[in-house]
Chain A
């Protein structure tokens, strides 16, 4: 068969599109997952966290998080009994490799795992100029990295410091609540790796989810409630000094 120059010019772009879809592979599907049947959040039980850093490592591996940036991290608080308002906090390398022995004595020490709060009224979604950050119908705040222009307004708007600019993709990045896992019936990487169950994925729309029982029987708080962001990261045993 002889191909004329005209035919070649038509064929080449078509072949490029075809090759692009071959490279992209088959998109993952979750045929049994219904967006409207879920409303995701997470429960963090501070009294159970031992600061091992498993969650940070699991998240970094699962989501290919660039070194030096964090989708989740663990903070260690040292609250002296004489100065409640000024805790001493550290988080060496986001707590990824655990913590060195604390210096000084007295007061209380505890760990606080942090990550995106998947706020129902998220300021990051509000400020994104192109709508690249959005909330899914099942309550997860995500970033479309093919759409993000890299202006970093969302990073400024997040009261919890959960976002960063990925130096490779030059787009905003944050915790996705392992959306690729939870839509397939799995839990998040951090919850899975937590040895004490300090982190529990919670589906607030599922009546049989243990979160409901937990919320009824415990004193649960969110971070910076005065920000009125509708945070869905619920902390049990949260000390007033935590920011």
Chain B
């Protein structure tokens, strides 16, 4: 039954589709991956160093895709540049373009470039043909890799990371604000929204880097640095606990206050959103991974078991956070603002905003990451040797 009860007639069709679910999901992965990377850089958590560069490249790959679902969703994508030319200052959405550009150009790209500059210069000397051309372009004409120059790079990178952490918070907290500031919608309207979005972003970003690191190590037939994955998993566990507590606080508050929207929202959670919210988001995507991660903290488990637990917990986390985005975006449109009825979301398969588009957009960052990893290997054991030395230089770990 598509409509149950009474919907305002213009509400029956959902305004925001699965692509708008992807947008906060992808942006969250960016912010989370960057925050993990900054742990090593700013807080000097040496154990997570093997994931540092991988996390930065992951953040970049996802950030490049982040605006695509928005573009595809717009009725007039050709006018989207108007947001830059004539931004409407009272609009939370108008500022997205600027926050995005700031984060992409001033933080992420610059930090990656500074971090890789030495490698790029060395690679531009070692490679031939087209590859050499690409690396030469990437040097941007800056080929000085003297000790002094690298020290300046390092210092600048540190400062950028310092700026980057609040920027990453801004990027995703702001996405939460886009929803949290819609007073017409009680499912969204909450000052908790930016905070919940931020913590869930960190959870998903840490999980994706953990999985990517384990997968890439397995694929490259390298041993997984257990000290690293144990530390990352511990961060995942703690962040997840905070995230879950915040979400529960929001839920308890809503249930206890039980304002005029409560009956409507409560009905929705027990019917149309039961599977995606209660089963997938809360049981499968939150309680199960938290429980699994807690086991690794409480019990002395073997390496193999821990790896398996991390892989399962990481995957469930990504599913759970996707479900959370789904429940916010789609769930927020399934009930009428009259609180008298409910509609249904119908997703097409091959359509501009269909399932196939969503799947392609989800896979695209991984394809970009694959190219980035080929171009700028993030592995400590793959750093190009300094000129004059015969053996490859090894990373700290």
Contacts and interface: CB of A to CB of B under 8 A. Distances in A.
A217 B13 CA distance: 41
Given A130-B88, A156-B15, A171-B75, A151 B184 contact: no
A129 B87 contact: yes
B183 interface: yes
Interface in B337-360: 337-340
Interface stretch (B91-99, B163-171, B274-282, B302-310): B91-99
Contacts of A171: 75-76
Contacts of B86: 130-131
Nearest to A164: B10
Contacts of B381: none
Contacts, number: 121
Given A129-B87, A150-B75, A243-B338, A156 B16 contact: yes
B10 A129 contact: no
Given A89-B340, A162-B10, A147 B82 contact: yes
Chain B interface size band reads 35 or more
Contact of B15 (A128, A152, A169): A152
Contact of B337 (A70, A126, A160): A160
B393 interface: no
B185 A129 contact: no
A98 interface: no
Interface in A151-170: 151-153, 155-165, 169-170
Contacts of A158: 184
B244 interface: no
Contacts of B338: 89, 161, 243
Contact of A114 (B8, B91, B181, B183): B8
Interface string B1-33: 000001111110101100000000000000000
A152 B83 contact: no
A220 interface: no
Given A89-B340, A150-B74, A227 B184 contact: yes
Interface residues of A, number: 43
Of listed B10, B92, B340, residue having the most chain A CB within 10 A: B10
B79 A149 contact: yes
A90 interface: yes
A124 B333 CA distance: 16
A73 interface: yes
Given A130-B79, A130-B86, A159 B6 contact: no
B79 A157 contact: no
Interface of B: 6-11, 13, 15-16, 70, 73-77, 79-80, 82-83, 86-88, 90-94, 96, 178, 181-185, 333, 336-340
